[in-house]
Structure 1
Amino acid sequence: MSTLILGFPNDIHIHAVRWALDQVSARSEVLYTSDLPQVARTSIRVGGGAPPRAQLRLGALRYETGAFDAVWFRRSGRPVRPHGMTDADWTITERECDHHVRALRRQLGPGARWLNDPDARERALLKPLQLEAAQATGFAVPETLFSNDPDEIRAFYSEFRECGVVFKLNVMANWHAQAAGDRFALFTTVLREDDLRDDEAISSCPGIYQRKIEKRYELRVTCMDEACFAARLDSQERDGTRTDWRADFSRPLPPRPVALPRHVEQRCLAFMKRMGLAFGCIDLIVTPEGEYVFLEVNEMGQFLWVEEGEPAFPLLRAFATLLVERKLSPGSRLVGTDALSYRSFLASGAWEAGRLEDAERHAAFEARGVGVEP
């Protein structure tokens, strides 16, 4: 059994899963996009009447098409520019690396179990398609406008002024103010009429405008194949988390295990199947009236924080089982023992060793999405 992991360095989820796989004698290797073109040596050969063949070489390690039973598409990073390369050369090289690695992913694991399939992943990144699929599978969804048209946005705000409108981005933004050393993030925000006065500001960046939904509490549902793990988040107990449960960095909300009503679990699984996803983290609101409202799915969402906050969630062990067995259901026997946990991983020193390995074996990388303010 061998798993190929696609991502970039210093990702604690990658190192935790590799540690878990190692505990059950399952082999894994990583392909970091950032290793192109400096570290990784990769080839794809087509023609001559033979099936396409891909090859990946990382130092002394060599892998070819068919070497992997499972592919975990954790993240898609950026190639890292070689020192001294001119701007003009890097413009071409970066584009070619991106095209090359996208083809390579498919050719290395053509018969493998994908988490998630690249085509499904791309669909799931589009929020309108998520809401459309959720509604088709029985979920209530908030009225939502995706727009940079000031007239449309103001009309939408007027329509839902009484209950309120929230604004959010497709991808959460965060940035670092170098002078003060502070870090900031833009979470879901309740709109005010004053926010909509400047046409230029509104039209400069498309955003998501959504009817505000009253909350009793929220749910984070981690879906792995046919198994769902639901965590209750009591976001309404604090002012700082009422609009966005992620917003209080100082005191993360404790996740509490909860059993989903059968019809809600069926909707989650039907939604995942419709989207073609084998893994995803679904965010739901439970209203004061008991209605379950779909907000979004993160097709490769963070899940270790749930187990860290509540060790009763065996999420690391369950995910390792899905990669090893290539399937998971509520009745599946999980690989390993109870010692195969996130807490044990952190105590093992594997995280520190993994970061050191990333620094020594792989190209330096800065995660996408972090803006820098002078």
Structure 2
Amino acid sequence: MLPTSGAVLVITGTFDPTADLVIEELNRRAVPVFRADMAWFPSRLTLAAGLDGTGWRGTLTTDRRALDLSTVRAVYYRRPTSPEFPDDMPPEARAVATAEARRGFGGLLSALPCRWLPPPGRAADAEYKPLQLRVAIECGLGVPRTLITNDPDAAKQFADGLGAPVVYKPFTPIRGTVDGHSVAVYANVLQPSDLPHPDIATTAHLFQEWVPKAYEVRLTVVGQRLFAAEIHAGSAAARVDWRSDYDSLTCKSCDPPPTVAAGVLRMLAQLGLPYGAFDFVVTPSGEWWFLEVNPNGQYAFVEQATGLPITATICDHLEGINA
């Protein structure tokens, strides 16, 4: 059984270098850590918890370790994968088992009276880009003109009205394998002449005006602490979407304007989040334009390039230091 001095439960996939950084720092601080993935449940992770007059008490157990749930001081909720069931389980039974695991196992964890980074329900809500963009405007951040549509003609009218290039962005990360090769869909710049396109009618699409950029900024917020880094692209692909070519990027720390700093803190407060990885475009004239916030976004590449103490600040938050 883990020590009872206050453990941090880390829920993430088996391969997660970002979570590894946090676990290494917590280990350095001698903070007990229990790492688990939803995929381990039910075959490799056993749950037993009962409700008494004071709350839920019980254990999570693997073949090597056990965690007393009453000792959990914080949960670092990263990117767990789905529960795994036997291959020969009928599809109907699998669907039921998946739903029961989410509401039973996941529901019990959400009932623990501890700190979460981030709270999974609020993080899931915040991943809706239309909600993000509305809240960003309400919090005083500049947002490019945006259209969501499945109407090819509406997309054409939007682009014609801007009289300038537009950017197509997927609502969620799209990655997969085609002919044995890993592929991903990133932001793409379209000219008005590229529209209308019949594929737009197949589902919802997001189009946004192209904002001229001097560089982009990844602004990571943990609690009330802000860590901003300029991202300078070194390739044509990265100048459209820097995620498409990490190797070409150079980063350096910077300070956000006071209005932007106040806006992102208001935004996280309104979304009910203790953490956010914000992306901004900075124009040649120095204007900051909000693009999106990821409630569980990557930060390691920024920390490694700039030395900004993001991992340590996340661990401070999980420990309840300056929280």
Give me the TM-score of the superposition, normalised by structure 1. Answer: 0.79
What CA distance in whole angstroms lies between the structure 2 residues aligned with 1:18 and 1:303?
15
1:280 aligns with 2:276: yes
Match of 2:36 among 31, 34, 58: 31
What CA distance in whole angstroms lies between the structure 1 residues aligned with 2:178 and 2:139?
43
What CA distance in whole angstroms lies between the structure 2 residues aligned with 1:102 and 1:158?
47
Match of 2:115 among 113, 116, 138: 113
Cα separation, partners in 2 of 1:246 and 1:50, compared to 1, 3 Å: closer
Match of 1:104 among 83, 105, 108: 108
What CA distance in whole angstroms lies between the structure 1 residues aligned with 2:154 and 2:193?
16
Query: What is the aligned partner in structure 1 of residue 166 from structure 2?
Result: 165
Unaligned regions of 5+ residues in structure 2, if any? 1-5
What's the offset of the Cα at 1:44? 4.5
1:322 aligns with 2:317: yes
What CA distance in whole angstroms lies between the structure 1 residues aligned with 2:30 and 2:141?
41
Query: Residues 34 and 67 of structure 2 are in contact (CA less than 8 Å); yes or no, is this contact kept in structure 1?
Result: no
Match of 1:238 among 221, 235, 238: 235
- CA deviation map 1:237-287 (0-9, x unaligned): 5322221112224x2412111122222222221221121111110001111
- CA deviation map 1:36-73 (0-9, x unaligned): 12111124445x76634454222353334432111111
Query: What is the aligned partner in structure 1 of residue 216 from structure 2?
Result: 218
Query: What is the aligned partner in structure 1 of residue 252 from structure 2?
Result: 256
What CA distance in whole angstroms lies between the structure 1 residues aligned with 2:108 and 2:61?
12
What is the DSSP-based 3-state SS (H/G/I as helix, E as strand, rest coil) of the residue aligned with 1:242?
helix
What CA distance in whole angstroms lies between the structure 2 residues aligned with 1:187 and 1:196?
18
Cα separation, partners in 2 of 1:119 and 1:289, compared to 1, 3 Å: same
For 1:39, the aligned partner's letter is R
What CA distance in whole angstroms lies between the structure 1 residues aligned with 2:87 and 2:210?
48
* Aligned CA-pair RMSD: 2.1
What is the DSSP-based 3-state SS (H/G/I as helix, E as strand, rest coil) of the residue aligned with 1:255?
strand
1:142 aligns with 2:144: yes
Query: Residues 21 and 320 of structure 1 are in contact (CA less than 8 Å); yes or no, is this contact kept in structure 2?
Result: yes
Cα separation, partners in 2 of 1:43 and 1:149, compared to 1, 3 Å: farther
Query: What is the aligned partner in structure 2 of residue 92 from structure 1?
Result: 96
Cα separation, partners in 2 of 1:216 and 1:198, compared to 1, 3 Å: closer
Unaligned regions of 5+ residues in structure 1, if any? 329-374
Query: What is the aligned partner in structure 1 of residue 205 from structure 2?
Result: 207
What's the offset of the Cα at 1:223? 0.5
What CA distance in whole angstroms lies between the structure 1 residues aligned with 2:225 and 2:173?
27
Query: What is the aligned partner in structure 2 of residue 174 from structure 1?
Result: 175
What is the DSSP-based 3-state SS (H/G/I as helix, E as strand, rest coil) of the residue aligned with 2:265?
helix
For 1:242, the aligned partner's letter is R
Query: Residues 37 and 82 of structure 1 are in contact (CA less than 8 Å); yes or no, is this contact kept in structure 2?
Result: no
What CA distance in whole angstroms lies between the structure 2 residues aligned with 1:284 and 1:238?
18
For 1:234, the aligned partner's letter is H
1:247 aligns with 2:244: yes
In the alignment of these two chains, the number of paired residues is 318
What's the offset of the Cα at 1:91? 2.6
1:313 aligns with 2:308: yes
- CA deviation map 1:78-121 (0-9, x unaligned): 111324323333232222222223202213x22x1111122321
Query: Residues 166 and 192 of structure 2 are in contact (CA less than 8 Å); yes or no, is this contact kept in structure 1?
Result: no
1:186 aligns with 2:182: no
Equivalence map 1:325-364=2 (5 Å) = 325-327=320-322
For 2:207, the aligned partner's letter is Y
What CA distance in whole angstroms lies between the structure 2 residues aligned with 1:123 and 1:209?
21
What CA distance in whole angstroms lies between the structure 2 residues aligned with 1:327 and 1:68?
18
For 2:298, the aligned partner's letter is Q
Query: What is the aligned partner in structure 1 of residue 131 from structure 2?
Result: 129
Query: Residues 54 and 104 of structure 1 are in contact (CA less than 8 Å); yes or no, is this contact kept in structure 2?
Result: no
